[in-house]
Chain A
């Protein structure tokens, strides 16, 4: 049984070129980049070059605007806490209802610390309520924090438009964008999009887990989350994780090179998978609109059946995907994202996210299209909602 990995929004495989680039910094070039002897030169320059690569990756104006972190969560925490600490007189934050838990849970903590947080809703297509967002911006707003694209649905938010909105209402308000789900999938241009802070995570674009980056533009001040040495220009203490930094920079270069492939070929395979399922499985529905999504993600609801069971059957055939169902995660509530979108109860528990990568092949997609309808049929046949399923079948076949 070969593995068909369609869960690339959760994590990705390390590109072989990335691992190759990292190896010397484990083996021979292990010097601390801060040391002064010649031996440290190579590791020091490796970090310097990597910073330039990440600068190019997000099109920052200077590599001084890049801070290396350990993960996307650290990037987000540094950005959010950092901005709030530098603007103590402002006590209001705006974010969305569909942010990643690493951000949402932090805002819940900040609410307990006395901040007022507005959570902007989405419509049934997963698109942000911009009118509500605009209205919420006030003189007291320290930070607007919106993800670039949603991890569960792949829906891209209009970052440039939001940035204009913020700047026209309150020039002092900072704009943090959680860019974890777009890095490597669509081009990022922090200058053109008017982003003040942007977080990314290496393992979502074929670097290893345990490395991330935060872009902070030169006009934005943040306090460090980790206090200690002078590394990262005092913004993040701790000896640089040289091999991983090198790995992420290599992954960023590869990602830039394959962006066109993502936007054409990966998208074609995603669309093939999506339309194939929607055509052959009568109790399936697309949980989002077709447009404005990252090219690799689709979120499909299978009605009157439960997601974990679908995943378990897929897993038996070597297929990896993920689900917004409550049962999968161990929490008891279904996905907060799908709930915010008002996905009907008939489909929310049976929602499956497939996320492709540039390593996904046509044969793999064909295989999934071949076996998935049978799995759904089998699980539907044990559902207590046979009457509802029969009605649905009649309706869809009209």
Chain B
């Protein structure tokens, strides 16, 4: 017996936006038949705004409710806004989910993430598209990857293996991967602690360090793809940079900036750093 909220019950009884969109601009999937739940989400995107969303779900009451409310949450929003939605947002909108059912909201988040990734890839005509990295699977029973676990810890502040299982299903079947999951948790919090304990730098040291990281860690990577980066200025937490070569004008450049340049600087120098591109 689950204590589902009124909202969850309303959504599995009367799911909104069920079905598929024939000429969808983005389609995302998560889960599988073998796992016991799966979700397909279809998006219509015009001028950067999600104008329509539909879903098909194979799963329990909370899986249907999570998918249904997700479509309501994203219709009318810009792609940038939609990208910020986390599984916790989905659960919150539903008035909460039982802990064992949090993986249903995670599935909604994953399908949405998958759709947006496909959308980004579709409009990217550049050959620079990254090779899809084969991810390391931690839980073979449910096909849960290291990144999925990492994301779940990050977005929900999970601390125990049991919580990970509730959110991602990992470790819920044979349990062989529980040790690995514990390792990931330990690594995550060790890393977080290290980030929080980054040494206080004087302004001069800080400039030197940022420049050093860009030259030794970031620039070489970009050069491999035929691009490059130069540091233009540092203004408080803002790091102004200029992309060059193949990177300039690349439609994926904002991704490069945010997920690679900014992340690297945050990890090595200061977690508040904002990277801004100037032309």
Contacts and interface: CB of A to CB of B under 8 A. Distances in A.
Given A332-B142, A332-B165, A345-B34, A327 B59 contact: yes
B189 interface: no
A381 B58 CA distance: 10
B36 interface: yes
B39 interface: yes
Interface stretch (B12-20, B118-126, B191-199, B239-247): B12-20
Given A332-B165, A333-B173, A383 B36 contact: no
B152 to A, nearest CB: 15
Contacts of B9: 312
Interface stretch (B60-68, B130-138, B219-227, B266-274): B60-68
Interface size class of A (residues with CB under 8 A): 20 to 34
Given A306-B63, A382-B56, A384-B57, A312 B12 contact: yes
A381 B60 contact: no
A332 B172 contact: yes
| Most central of A327, A333, A345 by chain B CB within 10 Å | A327
B38 interface: yes
Contact of A382 (B37, B64, B100, B101): B64
Interface string A256-271: 0000000000000000
Interface in A315-370: 316, 325-328, 330-334, 345-346, 349
B97 to A, nearest CB: 12
A359 B63 CA distance: 35
Nearest to B55: A382
Given A383-B56, A383-B57, A309 B64 contact: yes
Contact of A327 (B18, B19, B20, B36): B36
Interface string B47-75: 00000000111111101100000000000
A333 B172 CA distance: 7
Interface in A283-322: 304-309, 312-313, 316
Interface in B6-50: 9, 12-13, 15, 18-20, 29, 33-34, 36-40
A382 B141 CA distance: 25
Interface in B159-184: 165, 169, 172-173
A382 B15 contact: yes
Contact of A316 (B13, B18, B19): B13
A309 to B, nearest CB: 6
Contacts of A139: none
A12 B93 CA distance: 38
A307 B64 CA distance: 12
Interface in A369-398: 381-386
B18 A312 contact: no
B60 A304 contact: no
A325 to B, nearest CB: 7
A384 B39 contact: yes
Nearest to B139: A332
B138 to A, nearest CB: 15
A384 B40 CA distance: 6
Contacts of A333: 141, 172-173
A312 B11 CA distance: 12
Contact of B59 (A309, A332, A346): A309
A381 B18 contact: yes
A174 B119 CA distance: 65
Contacts of B165: 332
B36 A325 contact: yes
Contact of A309 (B19, B40, B56, B61): B61
Contacts of B19: 382
Nearest to B100: A330
Contacts of B141: 333
| Most central of B12, B20, B33, B64 by chain A CB within 10 Å | B33
Contacts of A313: 13
B5 to A, nearest CB: 13
A328 B56 CA distance: 20
Contacts of B36: 306, 325-327, 332, 334, 349
A346 B61 contact: no
A332 B173 contact: yes
Contact of A306 (B40, B56, B59): B59
A305 B38 CA distance: 10
A81 B107 CA distance: 43
B238 to A, nearest CB: 44
B74 to A, nearest CB: 18
Nearest to B15: A382
B132 to A, nearest CB: 22
Interface of B: 9, 12-13, 15, 18-20, 29, 33-34, 36-40, 55-61, 63-64, 100-101, 141-142, 165, 169, 172-173
21 contacts: A304-B33, A306-B60, A308-B61, A309-B12, A309-B59, A309-B64, A312-B12, A312-B61, A313-B13, A325-B36, A325-B60, A331-B172, A332-B172, A332-B173, A345-B34, A381-B18, A382-B55, A382-B57, A382-B64, A384-B29, A386-B20
9 nearest A-B residue pairs (beta carbon): A332-B172, A327-B60, A308-B60, A384-B56, A384-B40, A349-B36, A330-B100, A382-B18, A312-B61
Interface of A: 304-309, 312-313, 316, 325-328, 330-334, 345-346, 349, 381-386
